[in-house]
Amino acid sequence: MKNLFIFMKPYKKQIILGPIFKLLEAIFELLIPTIMVLITDKGIKSGDTIYIFKVGGLMAFMAILGVSASFTCQYFASIAAQGFGTRLRNGLFEKIQSFSFYEIDEFGTASLINRITNDINQLQLALAMFIRLAIRVPFLCTGGVIMAMFLDLKLSSIMLLSLPLFLFALYLIMSKSTPLYGLVQKKLDKLALVLRENLTGIRVIRAFGMETYEKKRFDNSNEDLLNTAISVGKIVNVMNPVTNLIMNASLIAILWFGAIRVNNGALTQGKIIAYINYTTLVLSALIIVANLVIIFTKAGASLKRVNEVLMTESTMKDITNYKEVKSENAPIIEFDNVSFMYKGAGDYSLQDISFKIKKGQTIGIIGSTGAGKTSIINLIPRFYDAVKGKVIIKGLDVKKYKKEELRNMIGVVQQKPVLFTGTIKDNIRWGLENASEEQIEKAAKIAQAHKFIESMKEGYDTVIFHGGVNFSGGQKQRLTIARALVKNPEILILDDCSSALDFATDLELRKALKNNTKDMTVIMVTQRITTIKNADMIIVLNDGKIEGVGTNDELMESCVVYKEIYNSQLQKEDEDEKEDVI
Ligand code: TTP
Ligand code: MG
């Protein structure tokens, strides 16, 4: 909760003044029935028209003041609630940005999206309601009861009796519905997940003709949400009929006993009208309380979810007492007995990995799918932390670097190319904010992207649509390579990023990389022997373990797994050649 106050702080004025204005309105509202007594008992009885107009005018004046106070409060409530929501969304977004992949994996993207939108909306609504009603309603209730007691103490016992009844009903309903609201939000997360998967994978779904299956999955998830929402609805919707029942039963009792007291002459006609007005005021305020309780219970569930994000500290904190002790002579990258497991996975994805890479070397990492290649390179820019052992860059543990400094040294081209909405130029500039046109073009040339970019009508200003859908797989790969190259990083990591390129382009790419990355340490992850055959060092991975480290020739001598991969691919190439001849 303390977390949330920080986001409300700039709106202190509105949050304090808003309820005060609403209180003013409530005071006028409370006074009006008593003034009515004056009109009925004094004005109407004695037929004093001037008196009626005078008091009536006063009532109208008070009504105008009341409405203006109410407007002011509404205005403050909107500013505070919208402002608070915006700040909280920004805060949450910033927090999520600080998360490592661990935390993001744990919450799940769909849930994070829901928390930053839906849950914050609930909190925003709750704050607006708080400003508008939280002070006014209790004031109207107690004020109404007191005013009614002044009018007729005996009759007030009916009202006082109905209150505990009402509170008891409220308690019952709340205690049953509160746990269900958290569940509704969870089901909403599930639905968002299904929807997200469906929309991002729509092409695959169409290709496999899985529309019916997907529709069923969505229907199930939707129905699940519906059922939970209905069970909450069933409980909560008892609230209004019950409060109405209590209210109307009290009114009947008051009219019944009131009429007897009027007949006895113990109560005037004006007073009974005012009395009924107060009872309605108090009981309708209680109905508002009931609705407020629903809003606050919902907000409570959302508050918990938002707080969970705010309270989660990234497992990868930036060090504060930063001292540069890296050494240029040490190996540029060293894995010292590293083991790694993804959160929730039962098994290690990497085990006892040790190797050293010297500055300027070209390294190949090869292994079958699922061998752990991507996992290894994820540890270098500290996307994840090793569970055991150390990842050392220039003699310094990656955990001792400032994340920004570490990542500035490294250019990563990920296995799945991700581009953002904007022009080609904008996307390449992600690598280097103020890259000149020449630098961009040079990077694109090395990445073998220049030709196809040039052939487009808009060239480097061609707009990339959401998710890069207007580019082919190979084109996207080359654009992401250019993006990493423009940064001119010390370490360049290419994760299987020529997989969608034809052999000729792949060859051109490797040649260009070789000629233009002399001082760069390049790590190429691949499944193709030809890509890394000439590398200075090749790391062979199998099932999360290192099978061999060395040059092509060394590995052909000593590493069975490498030899198998080599032979299987070489044989295939021979066969391909034969087919070509035929
Ligand atoms: P990867 O490191 O992704 O394997 P890879 O890169 O060698 O495979 P590919 O050639 O297909 O790209 O995966 C190693 C193991 O870790 C695998 O069992 C899946 C698991 N894993 C996770 O559990 N979570 C993750 O986020 C990733 C990337 C992998
Ligand atoms: Mg991979």
Q: Does ligand 1 lie within 6 Å of residue 367's CB atom?
A: yes
Per residue in 182-197, is it b (16+ CB within 10 Å) or e — as a string? bbbbbbbbbbbbbeeb
CA–CA gap between residue 127 and residue 121 (Å, rounded): 10
Length of the chain equals 582
Instruction: Tell me which residue has its CA closest to atom 18 in ligand 1.
Output: 370
Ligand 2 centre and the CA of 369: distance in Å?
7
Q: What is the mean pLDDT of the chain?
A: 87
Reduced to 3 states, what is the DSSP secondary structure of residue 343? coil
Torsion, Cα 331 332 335 340, to 10 degrees, reads 170
Ligand 1 geometric centre to CA of 54 (Å)? 84
Confidence of residue 582 (pLDDT cuts 50, 70, 90): very low
With tokens 């028209």, the residue in question is 49
**DSSP H/E element including 79:** helix 49-98
Structure tokens belonging to residue 232:
């909450």
Confirm if 380 and 353 have CB atoms less than 8 A apart.
no
Q: Tens digit of pLDDT for each residue in 310-368?
A: 998 887 777 666 666 677 778 899 999 999 998 777 889 999 999 999 998 999 999 88
**Domains of the chain and any CATH numbers:** 2-311 (1.20.1560.10), 410-488 (3.40.50.300)
Residue with tokens 């004025």: 13
Angle CA 415–420–425, to nearest 5:
100
What is the number of the ligand 1 atom nearest to the C-alpha of 345?
Answer: 23
Sorted by sequence, the CB contacts under 8 Å of residue 542 that are 6+ apart come out as 367, 368, 371, 561
- Cα of 371 to ligand 1 centre, how many Å? 7
**pLDDT of 581 above 50:** no
What is the number of the ligand 1 atom nearest to the C-alpha of 541? 7
Mean pLDDT of 529-548: 89
Q: Is 581 in the pocket of ligand 1 (CB under 6 A)?
A: no
Residue 43 CB–ligand 1 contact under 6 Å: no
Confidence at 389, pLDDT banded by 50, 70, 90: very high
Closest-CA residue to 187 (of 305, 91, 309): 305
In 341-470 the beta strands, taken as DSSP E runs, fall at: 350-357, 362-367, 388-393, 396-397, 410-413, 422-423, 463-464
pLDDT band at 89 (very low <50, low <70, confident <90, very high): very high
CA 543 to chain centre: 34
User: Ligand 2 mean position to 372 CA, how many Å?
Assistant: 7
Task: Give the alpha-carbon dihedral of 55, 61, 63, 67, to 10 degrees.
Answer: 180
| Residues 123/302, Cβ–Cβ less than 8 Å | yes
Give the CA radius of gyration of the chain. 36
For residue 176, give the nearest of 232, 118, 124 by alpha carbon.
Answer: 232
Classify each residue of 463-483 as buried b or exposed e, where b means 16 or more C-beta atoms within 10 Å of its C-beta. Answer: ebeeebeebeebbbbbbbbbb
The DSSP 8-state label assigned to residue 125 in this structure reads H
Cβ neighbours around 114 below 10 Å, total: 23
What phi, psi does 496 have (nearest 5°)? 50, 40
Q: Whose CA is nearest to atom 24 of ligand 1?
A: 342
Cα–Cα distance between 204 and 257 in angstroms, integer? 74
Give residue 30's pLDDT: 84
Please name the helix (run of DSSP H) or strand (run of DSSP E) that holds residue 153, with its range, or none. helix 153-200
Distance 222 CA to ligand 2 centre (A): 34
Does residue 573 surpass a pLDDT of 80?
Answer: no
Contact between 373 and 495 (Cβ < 8 Å): yes
Mutate to test the pocket of ligand 1, among 103, 342, 368, 374 (most ligand atoms within 8 A of CB): 374
Q: Ligand 1 pocket: which of 101, 109, 349, 524 to mutate (most atoms <8 Å of CB)?
A: 349
Coil, strand, or helix at residue 282? helix
Cβ(345) – ligand 1 distance below 6 Å: yes
Q: How far apart are CA 570 and CA 547, in angstroms?
A: 20
Average pLDDT of the residues in 442-449: 91
Is the distance from the beta carbon of residue 351 to the nearest atom of ligand 1 less than 6 Å?
no
Distances (CA, A) of 233 to 94, 182, 469, 524, 580: 35, 14, 42, 57, 70
Say yes or no to pLDDT of 169 above 90. Answer: no
Which phi and psi (to 5°) does residue 325 adopt?
-130, 25
Amino acid identity of residue 164, one-letter, is P
Q: What's the CA gap between 511 and 484, in Å, rounded?
A: 17
Cα of 376 to ligand 2 centre, how many Å? 9
Q: Is the CB of 370 under 6 A from ligand 1?
A: yes
pLDDT at 176 over 90: no
pLDDT in tens, 263-317: 888 888 888 888 888 888 887 888 788 788 888 888 988 999 999 999 988 877 7
What number does the ligand 1 atom closest to the CA of 375 have? 2
Question: Could you give the C-alpha distances from 1 to 196, 302, 307, 310, 342, in angstroms and in order?
Answer: 31, 12, 8, 10, 32
Decide whether any atom of ligand 1 lies within 6 Å of the 374 Cβ.
Answer: yes
Question: In this predicted structure, what is the pLDDT of residue 119?
Answer: 92
Atom 11 (ligand 1): residue with closest C-alpha? 369
Q: How do residues 119-134 score in pLDDT, each as one tens digit? A: 999 999 999 999 988 8
What does the block give as tokens for 514? Answer: 């070789």
Q: Decide if 239 contacts 297 (C-beta within 8 A).
A: no
Contact 351, 542 (CB under 8 A): no
Provide the pLDDT confidence category of residue 572 given band limits of 50, 70 and 90.
Answer: low
Residue 400: closest CA among 474, 320, 343, 518: 320
What's the mean pLDDT in 82-87?
95
Rounded to the nearest angstrom, the distance between the alpha carbon of 556 and the centre of ligand 2 is 24
Q: Say if ligand 1 is within 6 A of residue 375 CB.
A: yes
CB 283 within 8 Å of CB 140 = no
Is the CB of residue 246 less than 8 Å from the CB of residue 164? no
Closest C-alpha to ligand 1, atom 27 = 375
